[in-house]
Amino acid sequence: MNNTHTGQAGKKLSLKEKYALMTRGLGWDTSYEPMDKVFDQLGLEGIRIHDWDKWEDPFRLTMDAYWKYQAEKERKLYAVLDAFQQNNGHLNISDARYVNTLKLFFTGITPAEYNAHRLFAMLGRQFPGPGAAIACQMQAVDELRHVQTQIHSISQYNKYFNGLHDHSVMNDRLWYLSVPKSFFEDAISSGPFEQIIAISFALEYLLTNLVFMPFMSGAAYNGDMATVTFGFSSQSDEARHMTLGLECIKFVLEQDPGNVEIIQRYLDKWFWRGYKVLGLVSMMLDYMLPRKVMSWKEAWEIYFVQNGGSLFNDLSRYGLRMPRHWEQSVAEAEHLSHQTWNSFYNFSDAAAFHVWLPSDEDMAWLSEKYPNTFDQHYRPRIEHYRRLQAEGKRYYNPSLPMLCQTCQIPLIFTEGDDPTRTSHRETEHEGEKYHFCSDGCQEVFEQQPDKYVSAWLPAHQILQGNCFAPDADPQAAGFQAEAEVMRYFHVNPGQDNMDYEGSQDEANWRLWKGLSPDGASKAPPAA
Amino acid sequence: MQTNSQAPSSHPLVRDRVDNFHGQQLIYVGWDHHTMICAPIALLVPPGLSFGELVDSLLAHSAFALHPDWPRINWAEVEWFASDQPVTPRRDTALKDQGFGHKTFLRMRTPALRGIAGSGS
């Protein structure tokens, strides 16, 4: 409808004018306070920006269009989630074992998405260029939307499966979740340029395919339409996030030649930090998806070596090179999932999901995918575990593990020249010893020791007596320390964890699917 | 809490200093070529504990004792390393009196034993 009496307002703006007014036009230079006081974190890292107007917005998205697109995506997503719920979509997944990948994702990644929301909201405040600030603000809202839709998926699965009842408390307390948690807290407590390189470039551009593609394809292969739909819904956001990452790195590199060295240091650090977190994904791909998509080794070859390699080829004209130790990550692809899975088999009585031994068919697949390592190094111990389980003597590790000061993963990795010898590095800082799983983690520590000396390492916190509920009394007679730590984690022993075989999840699944205890399909009772 | 890693902090919080362990200290122990035990273990010990007691009472009740090679260990042949350097621990001497202070990593190697079916696991 034409609105003639307001004159100018009735004129429909061209897209170009609208973009100019609603992004660049919203910025101004402060006059009551100097700009460097208002944007007080910008100078801390030594990065020099001479002209924020050189920032290019590849999407040229304005806020009104953003809301429109996002609302449309939400409508579609929730229509599918509603249908999934009403049609008992959880019964169409390949097997109840599959849900354990979701448990790991929802307790490990969903709270990280919330931290990503906080991080981008702060970045939107810290960048003086309106182009960059608005892109960050939009991403902050995206991340919040992702948290919200994932929580709605959690609430659906939580009705039927154990271990999903308290994802946020678990993320704060549960030992293995300190790995993704500390990754994001490391990023969010960095300077603004390091934050955006860490999350937008290293995680969202370089490594995101490793999280999303195998995971979403895994969901599709295993009949999980709720997760697939969420994946599609977030994919267009992710495309925008990746572009932000790439634009940001090019912008910063082009602004000042002195920035290259700093950015390279950030890339070296955040590649290594991200790679370590992805160990969880390697285990999902090789050991947890009932219907396999591809091996970790194949995924790393395609998404990191090939795609990442050509990306760094493009970036070499700015003076950037591949991140330090990338060759090591390729060599370790032969071992990563097997070593990660073994640590969860060791400690599955202290986790919030189930594990199980690979079947004969799974082991044949692992032999085929890992011809250089599986039969030689990993099959014998799985067969040993099988014998023990058959004798009713299932092995659980009753000890606490030694953790890496940087990535917080137990020292489960082995030396490049000897896959049977634990990889260990050690340094001393101000009279204290610190231990690491790798050269990469030691180097990250040595860049900023004051940051990592304060790491909240779960095993040490348990031994300091800090992982008990407020009403627990360690001095009381008959105090059960291990049970009390589980209570602090909000994990129900035996119900949320240990083996899938014999679990409540398995019993329920058999009941719903009409399966007899030996796995065969049971004829429905005669009417 | 440190809010910006780039800003220098004059008093970083060292979360694992020995004072936080209520009179005890940490010792880590690893067993080479026995990766079934997925990582070296972290033990809380009184600093006056002798090395012999560490092996006989603590390791004997740890994950190590669940490995099939554990009963086969010939203790006279075990090689020890502290901070990855060869050492010869004295059984009757306290840990603190032979340099095994807070957060020392002790690694043991059993030359005759190479894990499950010799796989190093």
pLDDT digits (tens, 9 = 90+) for B33-48: 999 999 999 999 999 9
Written as one letter, the residue type at A98 is Y
CB A491 within 8 A of CB B52: no
Half-sphere exposure of A201 (CA within 13 A, CB side): 27
Architecture of the B29-116 domain: Roll (3.10)
Q: How far apart are CA B4 and CA B12, in angstroms?
A: 12
Q: What ipTM does the predicted assembly reach?
A: 0.94
pLDDT of A10: 67
Q: Does residue A242 have a pLDDT over 90?
A: no
User: Among A24, A22, A112, A28, which residue's Cα sits nearest to residue A67?
Assistant: A22
Of A217-231, A308-322, A458-472, give the lowest mean pLDDT range. A217-231
CB A264 within 8 A of CB A162: no
The percent of residues in chain A predicted with pLDDT above 90, rounded, is: 78
Q: How far apart are CA A169 and CA A171, in angstroms?
A: 5
Q: Does residue A278 have a pLDDT over 60?
A: yes
Tell me the per-residue pLDDT of A306-352, one tens digit each, with 9 for 90 and over. 999 999 999 999 999 999 999 999 999 999 999 999 999 999 999 99
Where does residue A437 rank: exposed (0-12), middle (13-18), buried (19+ CB within 10 A)? buried
pLDDT of B1: 35
In our burial notation (b when 16+ CB lie closer than 10 A, e otherwise), range A307-334 reads ebeebbeebeebebebbbbbebbeebbb
Q: How far apart are CA A393 and CA A401, in angstroms?
A: 21
Written as one letter, the residue type at A344 is F
- Residues of chain B in contact with residue A395, where contact means CB-CB under 8 angstroms, are 36, 66
Q: How far is B38 from chain A (nearest CA, A)?
A: 5
Element (H, E) at A131: helix A130-158
Classify A62-339 by CATH class: mainly alpha
A37 pairs with which residues across the strands? none
User: Among A335, A343, A357, A389, which residue's Cα sits nearest to residue A287?
Assistant: A357
Grouping H, G, I as helix, E, B as strand and the rest as coil, residue A287 is: helix
Q: Does residue B66 have a pLDDT over 90?
A: yes
Q: Does residue B8 have a pLDDT over 60?
A: no
pLDDT of A504: 97
Written as one letter, the residue type at A277 is V
Which of A186, A375, A402, A441 should be substituted to probe chain B, the one whose Cβ sees the most B Cβ atoms within 10 Å?
A: A402
Q: What mean pLDDT, rounded, does chain A reach?
A: 92
Answer whether A451 sits within 8 Å of B3, measured CB to CB: no
Residue A32 corresponds to which tokens in the numbers above?
A: 């009551």
Average pLDDT, integer, range A73-83: 90
- Residues of chain A in contact with residue B105, where contact means CB-CB under 8 angstroms, are 402, 424, 426, 433, 435
In our burial notation (b when 16+ CB lie closer than 10 A, e otherwise), range A498-515 reads bbbeebebbeebbeeeee
pLDDT of B47: 93
Q: How far apart are CA A134 and CA A24, in angstroms?
A: 9
The percent of residues in chain A predicted with pLDDT above 70, rounded, is: 96
User: Among A349, A223, A384, which residue's Cα sits nearest to residue A289?
Assistant: A223
B39: contact with A, CB 8 A cutoff: yes
| A417 DSSP assignment | T
Q: How far is B77 from chain A (nearest CA, A)?
A: 18
Answer whether A412 sits within 8 Å of B37, measured CB to CB: no
Q: How far is B85 from chain A (nearest CA, A)?
A: 12
* Number of alpha helices (DSSP H) and beta strands (DSSP E) in chain B: 1, 5
Q: How far apart are CA A429 and CA A278, in angstroms?
A: 28
Average pLDDT, integer, range A126-151: 92
Chain B residue at shortest CA distance from A430: B14
Average pLDDT, integer, range A438-463: 97
